[in-house]
Chain A
């Protein structure tokens, strides 16, 4: 699958990564290369093979329904560029 310049621009926008217009052709080429490499896997016939999700048989770890965390407002807000009255303060989001 080849990634064209428009797709590369869209992916960058969705990922909120600023890419200069001049860099898009190179980026599209690199993304195409990655996908092309991965597509080699399609040559393997996996009909009837269960997807493997881990190398050792493991069950999804579960937790009991008990409150064990929280009450750390200061720590949660510590890295925020702006926080007021216990809230994260961000540029106005208008619906």
Chain B
């Protein structure tokens, strides 16, 4: 049904001092699950609340408190897995990842190391029409988020807020299938788009609701193909992990910096130490977090407070039956049903709100024209004022009304733009506003004919010129439209001028 034929993009090649190098990138995306309550407690997940107000005793790790899983968070993870065409594991289990940090009151994070709820899936990342990278997903597991530390409120103290402690996260782990900084950003964009379509994560990167850990290594050309053929990582270089990125731009800059750092070390005869690094946007560099690394012996073990999580196939089937249309399918449908170009379909399916708005306008109308109006007039105007589609002053019904007036020939394209402006600022029913303002192009041939006759009679010289050179007939068309106060339908005028001049 879906035409997903594509060719793979070329990997990013960086020329070193001695030879060429290719990039190999794998990502772990931490996506905050959209839910009302936390993963194992009944405290709220809302952002921006008073510090430590969205905290249950479970989250604060008070002695004797026991976790009880939020079933909806499980459902959201399953829905995400289905959206990434992944295996759903009917039996999964929770483990404790042990470490000490002030934002982790339990002294461990409840996660799913050994038996994640979602297994292998895939994401198709389009880079240009017909060129796409199929990124394999290794697994998705559910885990708890940590709290938030603020370091700049006191010179000697850190301030800790547990509001985010225990909020459900999905960690989405990719295979090392991403081959350059742009691909990495495109992968995050696509994943974010799918999650937002599914309603399983709001994708708000600024609030930290979607963050990425990026694993970067470099290798000589040809090595990656050996890895793909054997899945043997020894063909690839040693990787470094850049933690906690929440900006598309910084992800790209950090990967580029990190790859060049590794190449410089390797060409100098050194070797890469596998480690965790942090990107500093102020200096555009990555720095080792070795101090933290040393303490990271997580001593995972199954969480004795939680039985294995067993779900039923019928429940998974029920979730599958209520899946929304996903971006790839919607784009393909917009292209086939409305005759849109690849570019327009991409723009209009970028998020659900835009897609819904367009579809409401296009339904029963000329799809291409609707796309042009939504993208050029509406989005153009929204961008100019920094507004989101949901805050558009012109509704889909109103824009549809304007297009209907064009389609019926009642107003010209030029008038439609003026009408759009009026509806934008003043609102109202387009047909009524047009009528009240006398916006109506003259299609009555009698009236136009009279104007044409008058202008021809008054300009014999122009008539001779136009007869010699039919291109000059445009002058008459302009004069007629001017004479009718811009009300004449240009198509009608064109036809009449041509007929009268005998062209």
Which A residues are within 8 Å of any B CB, using their own CB?
Answer: 10, 14, 16, 53-54, 58-73, 75-77, 82, 84-95
Main SS of chain A's interface residues? loop
Task: Give the number of A-B contacts (CB < 8 Å).
Answer: 134
B208 CB to closest chain A CB (Å) equals 15
In the complex, the chain B residue whose C-beta lies closest to that of A84 is B159
Whole-angstrom distance between the alpha carbons of A63 and B309 in the complex?
13
In the complex, the chain B residue whose C-beta lies closest to that of A14 is B297
Q: Which of A14, A54, A66, A87 contacts B159 (CB 8 A)?
A: A87
Q: Is the beta-carbon distance between B157 and A92 smaller than 8 angstroms?
A: yes
A13 CB to closest chain B CB (Å) equals 8
In the complex, the chain A residue whose C-beta lies closest to that of B40 is A63
Whole-angstrom distance between the alpha carbons of A61 and B98 in the complex?
24
Q: Does B44 reach chain A (CB closer than 8 Å)?
A: yes
Whole-angstrom distance between the alpha carbons of A73 and B56 in the complex?
9
Whole-angstrom distance between the alpha carbons of A33 and B100 in the complex?
27
In the complex, the chain B residue whose C-beta lies closest to that of A67 is B44
11 further contact pairs, Cβ within 8 A, besides A65-B37, A69-B58: A61-B69, A62-B70, A65-B71, A68-B37, A70-B42, A70-B55, A71-B54, A77-B52, A82-B157, A92-B158, A93-B158
Residues of B within 8 A of A16 (CB): 100
**9 pairs, A vs B, C-beta closer than 8 Å:** A60-B309, A63-B70, A65-B35, A66-B42, A70-B42, A86-B161, A88-B161, A93-B102, A94-B151
Q: Which of A61, A69, A93 contacts B41 (CB 8 A)?
A: A69
Residues of A within 8 A of B3 (CB): none
Q: Is the beta-carbon distance between B36 and A66 smaller than 8 angstroms?
A: yes
Q: Which of B73, B278, B295, B310 contacts A65 (CB 8 A)?
A: B73
Q: Which 4 pairs of residues, A with B, have the shortest CB-CB distance?
A: A68-B42, A65-B72, A87-B159, A69-B56
Whole-angstrom distance between the alpha carbons of A73 and B158 in the complex?
18
Q: Is the beta-carbon distance between A63 and B157 smaller than 8 angstroms?
A: no
Whole-angstrom distance between the alpha carbons of A3 and B71 in the complex?
41
B200 CB to closest chain A CB (Å) equals 13
Main SS of chain B's interface residues? loop
Residues of A within 8 A of B162 (CB): 76, 88
Which B residues are within 8 Å of any A CB, using their own CB?
Answer: 35-37, 41-44, 50-58, 60, 68-74, 98, 100-102, 149-151, 153-162, 278, 289, 295, 297, 299, 306-310
Whole-angstrom distance between the alpha carbons of A67 and B36 in the complex?
6
Q: Is the beta-carbon distance between B159 and A60 smaller than 8 angstroms?
A: no
Residues of A within 8 A of B156 (CB): 91-92
A64 CB to closest chain B CB (Å) equals 7
Residue from the set A64, A66, A67, A73 with the largest chain B CB neighbour count within 10 Å:
A67
Q: Is the beta-carbon distance between B69 and A86 smaller than 8 angstroms?
A: no
Q: Is the beta-carbon distance between B52 and A63 smaller than 8 angstroms?
A: no
Q: Is the beta-carbon distance between A58 and B52 smaller than 8 angstroms?
A: no
Whole-angstrom distance between the alpha carbons of A66 and B72 in the complex?
10
Q: Is the beta-carbon distance between A14 and B307 smaller than 8 angstroms?
A: no
B360 CB to closest chain A CB (Å) equals 30
Residues of A within 8 A of B73 (CB): 65
Q: Is the beta-carbon distance between B55 and A72 smaller than 8 angstroms?
A: yes
Q: Which of B50, B57, B58 contacts A86 (CB 8 A)?
A: B50
Whole-angstrom distance between the alpha carbons of A87 and B310 in the complex?
38
Residue from the set A53, A64, A65, A85 with the largest chain B CB neighbour count within 10 Å:
A65
Whole-angstrom distance between the alpha carbons of A94 and B291 in the complex?
10
Question: Knowing A63-B37, A70-B44 touch, does A93 contact B69 (C-beta < 8 A)?
Answer: no
Whole-angstrom distance between the alpha carbons of A88 and B43 in the complex?
18
Q: Is the beta-carbon distance between B310 and A59 smaller than 8 angstroms?
A: yes
Q: Is the beta-carbon distance between A62 and B43 smaller than 8 angstroms?
A: no
Question: Knowing A60-B306, A60-B310, A94-B151 touch, does A67 contact B42 (C-beta < 8 A)?
Answer: yes
Question: Knowing A60-B310, A67-B36 touch, does A73 contact B51 (C-beta < 8 A)?
Answer: yes
